[in-house]
Structure 1
Amino acid sequence: MKINQTFSLNTKIIFNPGSLNELSKLQGETALIISDKILEEIGYVKTIKGYLAEAGLTSHVFTDVRPDPDTKILADGLKIIQEIKPDVLVAMGGGSAIDAAKGIFYSAHQMLGDAFQRPYFVAIPTTSGTGSEVTDFSVITAEGDKIVLVNDYMAPDLAILDSDCVASAPRKVVIDTGMDVLTHATEAYVANDATDFTDALAEKAIRLLFENLLLIAEDINNEVARDHVHNASCMAGIAFNQAGLGINHSLAHAIGGTLHLAHGRCNALLLEEVIAFNGELEKSANNHAAKRYAKLAELLGLPARTVREGLVSYIDAIKKLKKQLGIESGFADLGIEADTYQAAIEKMAEAAMMDRCTPVNPIKPAKEELIKIYKKVY
């Protein structure tokens, strides 16, 4: 057993519909809102500016964030944050917007040191998926590769979970982000740094997802289910921020960056094979990870009279959920040509081996084993 383990949460969380009103209570003179063009066009940025105006804050807007934010976006954002010196930084959007804000925020700290006055950092997710509003992780694209930054300086001070903000999310986004949450919670549960505290959050998030994800995929206006999935996303974020993730995310980062695919969909297509690998399904199916997966099966009321049965039950439950959600069976179904995929596997496996998520995976993989997983999920 490890000694001196810790659990801490530096982010205050306010949740349930209407919680955006908390912005009207912030203190300061100048705010920088970091978001994207779509949220600006549909009026969310205007709403945020309205609440900040009630608080007496003058707002500046940076909405050049695109999916898979890269180093150029960080450089552009850095110029603005240096110019206006905000008291408050508000990041609103999906994982890309919040990750970009973190990267800009952290870059300013790295470049300016003590000369950079840390603004109060508020994160408002508009998808139920990344958990970025409570983590010290940021994924940035550099020269085509996804780089995972990890530093507690990037953790937001306040997370606002207003599920009304996800009410206009397209069905595909709901599914992809929901499966990302399931992957976060599952990986955190078997990660080497998991604790009783992270387990509790991961277990609750998984239960909420199995009970509610299909409901909101079918009807995003189901407010109760939408609240549950939005909260589950945050719970899973707290869990993996403390416990870590694993090779499911390492593999997803590499393939998503190389083939320009949605992160949540990559995680979904990899999930069963990664679980089978970690649980040694082709061998004894009785290692620590297998027992953890079997425990999740028990929690969901699935057959788990033996460890192997529980492991298989959990894999089958994920397969069933994916089928109900209409998720493809492999990357070939996404239109990726076999030659293109095969040519990229070696580089993707190397990138996954170097990913920040790999060291806490319950089994230390060899590159050849990651290549084998990639081939199985094609």
Structure 2
Amino acid sequence: MTFSVKSTIKVGDDSLETINTLGAKKIFFITDPFVVESRMIDQVINLLDKSVNYTIFSEIRPDPNQELVDNGKSALKNFNPDLVIAIGGGSAIDATKAIIYNIYKEIGEKIPFIAIPTTAGTGSEATNFAVVTVGDSKKVLIDDLMLPDYALLVAKFTKTVPNFITADTGMDVLTHALEAYISKNASIYTDTFAETCIKTVFEILPKVYDDGDRLSLRERMLEVSNIAGIAFNNAGLGINHSLAHTIGGNFHISHGRLNAILLPYVLDYNCKNDERARKKLDSLAKKLGHNDYTCIIKEIEKLNKKFKIPEKLSGLGKIDARNYANAIDKMADTALNDRCTPTNPALVTKFDLANILRDSF
């Protein structure tokens, strides 16, 4: 068993002061248009030493594809920075990781990297994972060289997020923690992180959804998003993410919302087909004041209902039923070969995955 936390994590507004301590003279910012237009990025730039030269690559969009990564790589090489800072949600941080990964493969050098998340969801600032869309599928990159050197958690940067995104990203956090908890590679270390995260999300996510101005709770959501990232970075994930990756690649639905819809179906499958997963979730349920794993599923369904997340994928109103049916075979095959599938607790076949895809639609 191995457990590691390689990023230095700092929490609070004053964590931004870390940037000036690193002696960087040229900083390459990677972000999305909203972070620039809302002037959020100015709150970081205004803190920089006057001698620092910087440029901003703000072409990030949801589900970054390989073309975007290639464009970012070219821009980064032309500027030749000594520090890269990603500011944004999972898409911005994942794209930055992929850019750094591609640069390393080309020149054999890792550029120092800071991640500043603006959503409490992906935990990307704490992981060696990055997801890039290639054609109609999502490619999962896994390499320690993509781990940020610093993760700066600043609650005020999540304040502008609307409540439906708070819900989607928060359910992504819960999915990360639950999948890490029952993963084949779970350990006492990852269990401790995951349990804390699961309990906290059930307790405070509804409160943040109802009142996004509660910065102390937003900070806690950032913290548990981060520790869920640490948990799954060490334990791995499972088929919930494998299925969300392929559905998202084909139909371009929010990753967190897909995870939320799939989670009851996947947990039920895993608990019915793996005794260890069932016993762990039964035990967790008792710690949370419930009877067994079915109560955890019911609590997830209650959250989804509160957040106006439908029970079925068809309820999204964004997926044509015929196109979905025609894509099931391909999606099941893609999910079976996804890099998250090997650590799923229950064994799965393409047939099993196809059934979950049908049941959840």
Q: What band does the TM-score fall into relative to the shorter chain?
A: over 0.9
Q: Distance in 2 between matches of 1:295 and 1:182?
A: 17
Aligned to 1:24, what secondary structure does the other structure show? helix
2:231 alignment partner AA: A
1:177 aligns with 2:169: yes
Q: Distance in 1 between matches of 2:12 and 2:177?
A: 21
Which residue in the other structure is 1:315 paired with?
297
Aligned to 1:221, what secondary structure does the other structure show? coil
2:164–2:307 contact (8 Å) kept in structure 1 = no
Among 78, 95, 100, the alignment partner of 1:100 is 95
5 Å-filtered alignment, 1:42-191, equals 42-53=38-49, 56-113=51-108, 116=109, 118-191=110-183
1:361 aligns with 2:344: yes
| Deviation (angstroms), 1:24 | 3.2
5 Å-filtered alignment, 1:188-227, equals 188-227=180-219
Aligned to 1:138, what secondary structure does the other structure show? strand
Q: Distance in 1 between matches of 2:259 and 2:287?
A: 22
Q: Distance in 2 between matches of 1:298 and 1:52?
A: 49
| Deviation (angstroms), 1:296 | 1.9
Among 338, 341, 344, the alignment partner of 2:324 is 341
Which residue in the other structure is 1:306 paired with?
none
Which residue in the other structure is 1:307 paired with?
none
| Deviation (angstroms), 1:187 | 0.1
Stretch of structure 1 that moved more, 338-347 or 253-262:
338-347
Which residue in the other structure is 2:282 paired with?
294
Aligned-residue CA RMSD (Å):
1.2
| Deviation (angstroms), 1:344 | 1.3
2:126–2:230 contact (8 Å) kept in structure 1 = yes
| Deviation (angstroms), 1:22 | 2.7
5 Å-filtered alignment, 1:5-20, equals 5-20=1-16
Q: Deviations over 1:3-39 (max 9, x none)?
A: xx11111100001344323323331211100001110
Q: Distance in 2 between matches of 1:312 and 1:8?
A: 32
Aligned to 1:86, what secondary structure does the other structure show? coil
Aligned to 2:49, what secondary structure does the other structure show? helix
Which residue in the other structure is 1:37 paired with?
33
Aligned to 1:67, what secondary structure does the other structure show? coil
Q: Deviations over 1:128-171 (max 9, x none)?
A: 00000010000001112100000000000000001111000011
Aligned pairs, number: 360
Q: Distance in 2 between matches of 1:272 and 1:17?
A: 37
Q: Distance in 2 between matches of 1:279 and 1:126?
A: 34
2:9–2:153 contact (8 Å) kept in structure 1 = yes
1:35–1:93 contact (8 Å) kept in structure 2 = yes
2:61 alignment partner AA: R
1:25 aligns with 2:25: no
2:48 alignment partner AA: L
2:340 alignment partner AA: C
Aligned to 1:8, what secondary structure does the other structure show? coil
Seen in structure 2, the aligned counterparts of structure 1 residues 242 and 183 have a Cα distance that, compared at 3 Å, is same
In the superposition, the TM-score normalised over structure 2's length comes to 0.97
Q: Deviations over 1:84-117 (max 9, x none)?
A: 221111001000000000000010000112xx3x
In the superposition, the TM-score normalised over structure 1's length comes to 0.93
1:123–1:158 contact (8 Å) kept in structure 2 = yes
Unaligned runs of 5+ in 1: 304-309
| Deviation (angstroms), 1:257 | 0.7
Q: Distance in 1 between matches of 2:44 and 2:83?
A: 12
2:301–2:311 contact (8 Å) kept in structure 1 = no
Q: Deviations over 1:48-82 (max 9, x none)?
A: 2222335x421111011111011111111111221
2:6 alignment partner AA: N
2:84–2:111 contact (8 Å) kept in structure 1 = yes
1:135–1:155 contact (8 Å) kept in structure 2 = yes
1:69 alignment partner AA: P
1:26–1:52 contact (8 Å) kept in structure 2 = no
| Deviation (angstroms), 1:302 | 1.2
2:236–2:343 contact (8 Å) kept in structure 1 = yes
